[in-house]
Amino acid sequence: MTMWQRAGFLLGRWPVRTPVGRRPLPAAANVLKALDTETVCALYDEARRLRLGLGGGGP
């Protein structure tokens, strides 16, 4: 992480900037969650079913 990202993280800001022209997510959405392998695979399958364009690689 860059110095600015670290400083923002320590101040309670999310270290990823919102893309230009997009609205930022609410603070409640900026949460890291631990997932097990089964859940990650299920999310990948759901994204593939919805055609979210994750590429050709596996989970």
Q: What is the pLDDT of residue 58?
A: 56
5-26 burial: b if 16+ Cβ within 10 Å, else e: eeebeeeeebeeeeeeeeeeee
pLDDT above 70 (res 55) = no
Q: Is the pLDDT of residue 21 over 80?
A: yes
Instruction: List pLDDT tens digits, range 34-43.
Output: 889 999 999 8
Residue 54 has pLDDT above 70, yes or no: no
Mean pLDDT (the chain) is: 78
**For the chain, what are the domain ranges?**
3-49
